[in-house]
Amino acid sequence: MNAPIFRRAASAGEGVSRRQLIITATAVGGALMVGCSPTDLLAAGAEGETGPFGAFVRIAPDGAVTLVCKHIEFGQGSHAGLAAIVAEELDADWSKVAWEHAPANAKLYANGGLGAQLTGGSTAINNSWDQLRQAGAAARAMFVQAAASRWNVPAGEITVKDSVVSHAASGQSADFAALLADAAKVAPPAEPTLKDPTQFTLIGTDRVRRKDSLAKSTGQTRFTMDVQAENLLVAMVAHPPRFGAKVASFDATAAKAMPGVVEVYEIPTGVAVVANSTWAAKQGRDALSVNWDEAKAETRSSADIAQRFRDLAAGSAALEKGEEWQGFETKGEVAAQGGGLAIEVAYDFPYLAHATMEPMNCVAQVDGNTAKLTFASQGPTLDQLNVAKIVANLPGAIEIETLPAGGSFGRRANFQSDFVVECVQIARKVGGNRPVKLVWTREDDMAAGYYRPLVHHRVRVTTDAEGYPNTWTHRIVTQSIMKGAPFGGGGVDETAVEGAKGSPYLKATPHVDAQLLTPDAGVPVLWWRSVGATHTAYVMEHTIEQLARRAGQDPVAYRRALYEKAAAKRHLAVLDLAAEKAGWGEPAPEGWTRGVAVHESFGSVVAQVAEVKMENGEPRVGRVVTAIDCGTAISPNQIAAQMEGGTCYGLSAALYGQVTLTEGRVDQTNFDTYRVLRHNEAPKVETYIAAQPAGTHPTGVGEPGTPVIGPAVANALLALTGEAITAQPFVKV
Amino acid sequence: MAITLDVNGKPLTVEAAEDTPLLWVLRDELGLTGTKYGCGIAQCGACTVLADGAPIRACLTPVSALGSAKITTIEGLGGDHPLQQAWVALDVPQCGYCQSGQIMSAAALLEQSPKPTDEEIDGAMAGNICRCGAYQRIHAAIKVASGQAPATASPQTDA
């Protein structure tokens, strides 16, 4: 592999290194372009025209302001926060600010934290903060200058409010529409003056609400699934029953006889049926007869994989070629320490499906070397790179119209662009620029892999005389997510250790020996909302809880002491806030037991106190008090929504979520076998946002609410039953 | 075969095999894409529509089974139904994909029980999955739409 020509900018805060995109020259077809910036290279072939107010701000003749949004809207409501940043600095009338998805263009719309146009790692607001403040402030300065020239008054005396520019002394005022032609001619200032954050009037208020609620409450939002077009064909694909298998032979006679079926094609991932309607495509696909070549297929059961991971962590299985333990946090001398064993515990986490409500899908049109995609693209740059290789064009020339997604939780961005490539392969067979909509059924989606990896942890802690950790030995065994990248980074896969690595509990422990092992398996794995924290938060928080109990200490007081040792001020603050709001220290409501957990992820720190009871043999979660430090809060309403939703997502996994394989075949097929949290099982989440000094850089909220609830519930159950819970899901099917 | 359906108060005739699920007729033939595909086996509720006021799963209902039933889809609610107003007031949707089905299930509930209890809401809405986890706001919005809570109810609290 060539040396990396690009690494992410260093400004995006913590928690994004896991998704560093180290794009090598080989990734764009072998071209070695010396002297180009990485985003030049990624955007090669793109048209890069922007309007007078830059790439992010468009102002219509009627003065209406539109944010050109480089991040996909897939539930988190980040469009509202991003638009509010622009509106704040521009002093635009918020009620009339609109937004739309940006086109695919890595030079204009790269994620500053990831180096490619990609939404992930809870970075949307974080990486856009400075960029959009400047975009809004520059546009404002252009209007101010236009007005100053027109009225012949000093620019410094001009004010702007709700899209109206005024000069008090002369009594003149004009709205953006009236000044637009002149403002558009003003050269944008290179370094516009930003507002003093103490003077913000929009950011942080309840006025910052999402702008798509009406469309989404009336069925008017256009998802990929809803794309309709003249001549549109619908495609479904018969996939192999085991990962790594291929088509050996197939008989399409019956499929082609189905009314509405147009053609059947063999493609690299299976056999595709294209038809005039969704139902016809499904009927045709179901009528296919395919023989599979399973010579290279993964045929192990998930139970076998899990057992091998356990044995590896316990030192009772031999390493195979290419397998190597990697230290990720080491200090002191664990082996030289005496003292009694306090705790040794091993944890198992299953594969998890993202199970978005909208199964994966894509619409593509291909004509020779050109390709246009219309779909919910989470990582347009990745999709452009992968599609460019198929149609033999420059990545920037691949056109993508991004639509909102019916959920993603990470699934729609992967290094292979799996479902996108599949759609393009079919559209290429069809040719002639004819639009092809690839539709995966729920069953296709569930069995397609790209799961949260199966993970095993083994932890051994000895304590000092006061019951605090003196040595901490930690082994993690899991498939590597980043190893699946065609352009990988090497070294420790941060996605596997984040949250254990950097934990304040390890900071507070004098002797640490923490290592990672990443064996290969044939099951495709991927980031899944909150990624490494999905398991590290659980292991750290449930282990600490067991230590607190053995030390005879209150769990909040025990954590507080460790945070003080580690100088983890933000952890301490949210823990105190959650404990206070939950009434920690006072008796829980009759019949309920409280559990607490705290975890930092994506630059934010979340503490939760959950009230739990057993009902019909299953845990029932009631009130969940959540405290978050996410820097400057831009939309308190959407932060609360993300805490509510993230908590449900994490709780669903902890209680019920698991994908298992029997001899290589995925056992779960649909929501009848992949149980997810339902309305009557949902907790009541209260969100408290820890106040920060004005101007504090905002950090993530889409993911940090997910990993904390699992351990909070387990810790309540530990208090209730005296038993630790060392495997997810808690509820066995 | 030619099948005539009563959809949102209009008689509409489509060409479809009689075993075609109503879902695909609504979406692919009639262009009513507000009704969603989520699972195809009546487990998730994204395809919920009303047949003579009762909630049905369009993904498993053969189009030939409907007879003269009056079908109401999300497009037929009009856009200013009390549930839709409450959904907007509380910013219920996240990704939004399941929300048509959620609202149709809630509409059926309110027809049957204008002021539903928490237990009634839990029971009526348990068949509609939301992977974004907007359940708490869905629940609150049903309370608002049924006049049991003020529309200004904001679910989040600042420190």
The reply to whether B152 falls in a domain is: no
Given a contact cutoff of 8 angstroms between Cβ atoms, the answer to whether A130 and A197 are in contact is: no
Residues B13 and B67 in one domain: yes
User: Chain A neighbours among B 93-122 (CB < 8 Å)?
Assistant: 93-100, 103, 121-122
Residues A108 and A165 in one domain: yes
Q: Phi and psi of A538, rounded to 5°? A: -65, -50
Across A583-612, average pLDDT: 98
Confidence (pLDDT) at A237: 98
Per-residue pLDDT at A9 exceeds 90: no
Q: What's the length of chain A?
A: 733
The reply to whether A159 falls in a domain is: yes
Kindly list the residues from chain B whose CB atom is less than 8 angstroms away from the CB atom of residue A679: 121-122, 125-126, 128, 130, 135, 138-139
Q: Point out which residues pair with A477 in neighbouring strands.
A: A456, A517
Q: Nearest Cβ partner of A637 from B29, B40, B154? A: B154
Residues A4 and A94 in one domain: no
**Number of inter-chain CB pairs under 8 A, A vs B:** 208
Tokens of A54: 């830059």
Residues B10 and B43 in one domain: yes
Residues B45 and B87 in one domain: no
Residues A105 and A148 in one domain: yes
Q: Judge whether A275 is closer than 8 Å to chain B, CB to CB.
A: no
Q: Judge whether A15 is closer than 8 Å to chain B, CB to CB.
A: no
Residues B25 and B70 in one domain: yes
Residues A91 and A211 in one domain: yes
The reply to whether B70 falls in a domain is: yes
The reply to whether A602 falls in a domain is: yes
**Domain end point (choices B77, B106, B134):** B77
Kindly list the residues from chain B whose CB atom is less than 8 angstroms away from the CB atom of residue A645: 94, 132-134
Strands (E), A158-284: 158-161, 164-167, 172-175, 233-238, 246-251, 261-267, 270-275
Q: Judge whether A473 is closer than 8 Å to chain B, CB to CB.
A: no
Q: Judge whether B151 is closer than 8 Å to chain A, CB to CB.
A: no
Residues A409 and A557 in one domain: no
pLDDT in tens, A158-198: 999 999 999 999 999 999 999 999 999 999 999 999 999 99
Judged by CB atoms closer than 8 Å, whether chains meet at B75 and A355 is answered as: no
Neighbours of B11 (CB within 10 A): 9
- Of the candidates A394, A651, A634, the one whose C-alpha atom is nearest the C-alpha of residue A529 is A651
Residues A589 and A472 in one domain: yes
Q: How confident is the model at residue A39 (pLDDT cuts 50, 70, 90)?
A: confident
- Of the candidates B134, B129, B48, the one whose C-alpha atom is nearest the C-alpha of residue A75 is B134
Residues B46 and B112 in one domain: no
pLDDT in tens, B40-64: 999 999 999 999 999 999 999 999 9
Q: How far is A10 from chain B (nearest CA, A)?
A: 30
Element (H, E) at A401: strand A399-402
Confidence (pLDDT) at A550: 95
Judged by CB atoms closer than 8 Å, whether chains meet at B28 and A259 is answered as: no
Pairing of the two strands A233-238 and A436-439: parallel
Distances (CA, A) of B13 to A50, A228, B7: 47, 20, 10
Judged by CB atoms closer than 8 Å, whether chains meet at B93 and A212 is answered as: yes
The reply to whether A569 falls in a domain is: yes
Residues A204 and A81 in one domain: yes
pTM for the predicted model, two decimal places: 0.95
Per-residue pLDDT at A8 exceeds 70: no
Q: How confident is the model at residue A43 (pLDDT cuts 50, 70, 90)?
A: confident
The reply to whether B156 falls in a domain is: no
Q: Judge whether A683 is closer than 8 Å to chain B, CB to CB.
A: yes
**Domain end point (choices A194, A215, A236):** A215
The reply to whether A304 falls in a domain is: no
Confidence (pLDDT) at A661: 98
Kindly list the residues from chain A whose CB atom is less than 8 angstroms away from the CB atom of residue B35: 219
pLDDT in tens, A275-316: 999 999 999 999 999 999 999 999 999 999 999 999 999 999
* Count: domains in chain B: 2
Confidence (pLDDT) at A107: 94
Per-residue pLDDT at A31 exceeds 70: no
Rounded-to-integer distance, Cα A401 and Cα B45, Å: 29
The reply to whether B155 falls in a domain is: no
Per-residue pLDDT at A489 exceeds 90: no
Q: Judge whether A622 is closer than 8 Å to chain B, CB to CB.
A: no
Residues B71 and B102 in one domain: no
pLDDT in tens, A335-384: 888 777 689 999 999 999 999 999 999 999 999 999 999 999 999 999 99
Which chain A residue has the Cα nearest residue B27?
A226
Residues B20 and B38 in one domain: yes
% of residues, chain A, pLDDT over 70: 94
Ordered DSSP codes for chain B: -EEEEEETTEEEEEE--TTSBHHHIIIIIS--TTS--S-SSSSS-TTEEEETTEEEETTSSBGGG-TTPEEE-GGGG-S--HHHHHHHHTT--SS-TTHHHHHHHHHHHHHH-SS--HHHHHHHHTT---TT--HHHHHHHHHHHTTSS-TT-------
What is the residue range of A32's domain?
Answer: 1-36
Residues 6 or more apart from A348 whose CB is under 8 A from it? Answer: A306, A310, A455, A456, A726, A727, A728
Which 3 state secondary structure label does DSSP give A125?
helix
What is the residue range of B47's domain?
Answer: 2-77
Residues A420 and A461 in one domain: no
Residue type, A201: T
If you average pLDDT over every residue of chain A, what do you get? 93
Residues A97 and A189 in one domain: yes
Residues B64 and B87 in one domain: no
Judged by CB atoms closer than 8 Å, whether chains meet at A210 and B95 is answered as: no
The reply to whether B150 falls in a domain is: no
Residues B56 and B17 in one domain: yes
Rounded to two decimals, the ipTM of the complex is 0.98
Domain of residue B132, CATH code = 1.10.150.120
Residues A230 and A208 in one domain: no
Judged by CB atoms closer than 8 Å, whether chains meet at A442 and B155 is answered as: no
Given a contact cutoff of 8 angstroms between Cβ atoms, the answer to whether A359 and B43 are in contact is: no
**Domain end point (choices B77, B104, B126):** B77
The reply to whether A331 falls in a domain is: no
pLDDT in tens, B91-135: 999 999 999 999 999 999 999 999 999 999 999 999 999 999 999
Q: Is A93 exposed, middle or buried (0-12, 13-18, 19+ CB in 10 A)?
A: middle
Confidence (pLDDT) at A284: 98
The reply to whether B151 falls in a domain is: no
Domain of residue A244, CATH code = 3.30.365.10
Domain of residue B33, CATH code = 3.10.20.30
User: Chain B neighbours among A 64-83 (CB < 8 Å)?
Assistant: 74-77
Q: Nearest Cβ partner of A442 from B39, B88, B91? A: B39
Residues B104 and B139 in one domain: yes
Residues B133 and B93 in one domain: yes
Confidence (pLDDT) at A490: 73
Q: How confident is the model at residue A487 (pLDDT cuts 50, 70, 90)?
A: low
**Domain end point (choices B77, B99, B129):** B77
For testing contact with chain A, the best of B7, B81, B84, B97 (most A CBs within 10 A): B97
The torsion angle over the Cα atoms of residues A294, A271, A379 and A376, rounded to 10 degrees, is: -140
The reply to whether A338 falls in a domain is: no
The reply to whether A707 falls in a domain is: yes
Element (H, E) at A214: helix A213-217
Q: Nearest Cβ partner of B21 from A279, A406, A638? A: A279
Kindly list the residues from chain B whose CB atom is less than 8 angstroms away from the CB atom of residue A409: 131
Which chain A residue has the Cα nearest residue B22?
A279
In sign, the C-alpha dihedral spanning A147, A152, A154, A157 is: negative
% of residues, chain A, pLDDT over 90: 90
Across A724-733, average pLDDT: 94
The reply to whether A310 falls in a domain is: no
Confidence (pLDDT) at A19: 37
* Count: domains in chain A: 4
Residues B66 and B89 in one domain: no
Q: Judge whether A257 is closer than 8 Å to chain B, CB to CB.
A: no
Confidence (pLDDT) at A26: 34
Confidence (pLDDT) at A18: 34
Residues A468 and A422 in one domain: no
Residues A412 and A509 in one domain: no
Rounded-to-integer distance, Cα A483 and Cα A143, Å: 50
